[in-house]
Chain A
Amino acid sequence: MTATLSAGLAGGTQRSTPDPQAAGEAPERPRAPAGRPSRGRPYATGLVTLWLSLVVLLPLAALTVTSTEHGWGGFWDALSAPSALAALRVTVLVAAVVAVLNAVMGTLLAWVLVRDDFPGKAVVNALIDLPFALPTIVASIVLLSLYGPDSPIHVQLNATRYGLVVALAFVTLPFVVRSVQPVLIEADKEVEEAAASLGAGGLTIFRRVILPTLGPAIISGTGLAFARAIGEFGSVVLIGGNIPRHTQVASQYIQQQIEIDQPVNAAAVSVALLAMAFLTLFVLRLVSARSLRREAAS
């Protein structure tokens, strides 16, 4: 019980309210301001804790336990198996390439959608979300029909790492666009005019004025795209070809290990993916906290 609360109770008793329970309900009792953490809602906190435990925390814990079923040595053996390492390496490599592609093309797309006017702009704008909304396996079939063995344009990317890149770029398209777009809409055009009046050309304005403003949004969009690309399964399953040590990504390796009844191997690689996703999100939090501090410092 906090000091303020007991003081409130004491005051309540003096005001000839003999029942301390009633004093606790009195409006004079100091209340936590709206939006601030308060200790007064035990049911809500309990329910949220239970829910998070059931759907997130306990499964994660169970996974970690499974991965160390054969001790930490077994965990390391599972993780350092050549095919597991190869799958992780391909995953990170392809996801990194896709993230960089997204950073550039996503920013460009957002720019065109905000600053340029062209017929059909609304349609293109709506189209951006489609890859995200589409079931990923459908994405895989869509790409296979264009870049597959029967490619109508004679570009065959199936069972190559390029195929993986295309599939993941397709699925992660909206992330950078949708995080940069609102920042660009909000961006003060007068700042660009100020730079122009000071003698800055178009390229300098972009590099020294616009890009720093968009930076946090680009980084956060790219980070989310990277995190999504690391764990992607459905969209690569058909076009990737699942060739071990070449196009087999971590999620496919995990499925393979489950199928051949090696749950420890599967769990170990899963934990590695989990760690990477967690690290990515952690870095994103740091970046956004830093830029927020600078913008709103007082």
Chain B
Amino acid sequence: MITVTGARKSYGAFAALDGVSIDIPAGSLTALLGPSGSGKSTLLRSVAGLEGLDEGSVVINGKDVTGIPPQQRGIGFVFQHYAAFKHMTVRDNVAFGLRIRRRPKTEIARKVDELLEIVGLAGFQHRYPAQLSGGQRQRMALARALAVDPEVLLLDEPFGALDAQVRADLRRWLRRLHDEVHVTTVLVTHDQEEALDVADRIAVLNKGRIEQVGDPQALYDRPANDFVMSFLGQVAHLGGRLVRPHDIVLSRDRAEAYAADARVTGSPGVVSAQVDRIVRLGFEVRVELTSEEGSRLEVQTTRGTADELALLPGETVFARVAHPVAEALAG
């Protein structure tokens, strides 16, 4: 359990944290999501003690650690660029925290072997970090952080420096690891897909403030405002409102469109639009349109639906929302 209360931190005139309070439940995997400069990294670093707060407090598992240095906070920290000890082998990297704690040699050896097994680096203990790939380095960094049995595990854009495929693999692997190890984990990311994929709770930050906290489904379906809505997934403008592109239904029949729209409460109405382009991305089909008011509209649909409609560029269709969901509550 991590509790941050009234956190403020400024760099000169720039307020990185502008009164942030958040509870992070024990055993959860929470993502701090936001654009760059939103304060998410500063928040994480102040939980770690790598950054001091101007105001506010940090409590980890009931212990007020606000003025306490990172060494005594019982944390594990993983950096975007791995922060590997380049002059040490993989084994020595992972053993670092245990050696500092002067644990017996046999215990260190056992623990390091166990961790290298978990992170899938069992055969690599005598290599140097330069001899590992980016993904392997980050797994080594994770093993190093877990070696000291931290009360909380803090990850600062841990997959940010990796390429897309490795990133997707590694975050699923992290999810499985978390299901096994159950250490309270906080992950900073600017990638909404990553947050939705890996976290069981998401806190969306913007300009040093928390916009909304909740589970991924709730945030996606019931965003508190336009910012959360547009940051957590794609949005389209329909009839002057923000909606999800996959919630828009296209039909060729005007009468049918209006009849169906009448059954949706609070609908933004039916908009007629001209098809500009049809992009087939495997299962997903993206239809780009220009509405009658001249604004651009993007609709996500499935291959089956698109084939049924058999749309061609230049045709006029009628767009409406499927059901009254995914609309910012306080737009």
List residues of A whose CB falls within 8 A of some B CB.
188, 190-191, 193-201, 204, 208-209, 212-213, 215, 294-298
Contacts and interface: CB of A to CB of B under 8 A. Distances in A.
A294 B87 contact: yes
Interface of B: 48, 50, 69-73, 75-77, 79, 81, 83-87, 96-97, 100-101, 128, 130-131, 141, 144-145, 147-148
B81 A213 contact: no
A224 to B, nearest CB: 22
A164 B79 CA distance: 49
Nearest to B81: A190
A191 B77 CA distance: 11
Given A190-B83, A198-B144, A298-B131, 9 more contacts: A190-B79, A191-B83, A196-B71, A197-B71, A198-B97, A198-B147, A198-B148, A199-B72, A204-B100
28 contacts: A188-B83, A190-B81, A190-B83, A193-B50, A193-B70, A193-B79, A193-B83, A194-B79, A194-B141, A195-B85, A195-B96, A197-B71, A197-B75, A197-B76, A197-B77, A197-B145, A198-B76, A198-B97, A198-B144, A199-B71, A199-B72, A199-B100, A199-B101, A200-B100, A201-B71, A209-B85, A212-B87, A294-B86
Nearest to A192: B83
B163 to A, nearest CB: 18
A294 B86 CA distance: 8
**What does DSSP make chain A's interface, helix, strand, loop or mixed?**
helix
B50 A198 contact: no
A59 to B, nearest CB: 41
Contacts of A204: 100
Nearest to B80: A190
Contacts of B69: 196
Given A194-B83, A212-B87, A295 B130 contact: yes
Nearest to B75: A197
Nearest to B73: A197
B86 A213 contact: yes
B42 to A, nearest CB: 14
Contacts of A213: 86-87
| 5 tightest A-B CB contacts, nearest first | A198-B97, A197-B77, A194-B83, A190-B83, A212-B87
A208 to B, nearest CB: 8
A193 B79 CA distance: 9
A194 B101 contact: no
Contact of A188 (B50, B81, B101, B141): B81
A199 B148 contact: yes
Given A191-B84, A295-B130, A197 B100 contact: no
B130 A294 contact: yes
Nearest to A212: B87
B130 A197 contact: no
Contacts of A215: 87
A297 B131 contact: yes
Contacts of A295: 86, 130
A197 B50 contact: yes
A196 B130 contact: no
B71 A200 contact: yes
A92 B207 CA distance: 63
Nearest to B76: A197
A198 B141 CA distance: 11
Nearest to A201: B71
A50 to B, nearest CB: 41
A157 B142 CA distance: 57
B96 A198 contact: yes
A209 to B, nearest CB: 6
B3 to A, nearest CB: 20
B226 to A, nearest CB: 35
Contacts of B81: 188, 190
A199 B284 CA distance: 49
Given A188-B81, A193-B70, A200-B71, A298 B130 contact: yes
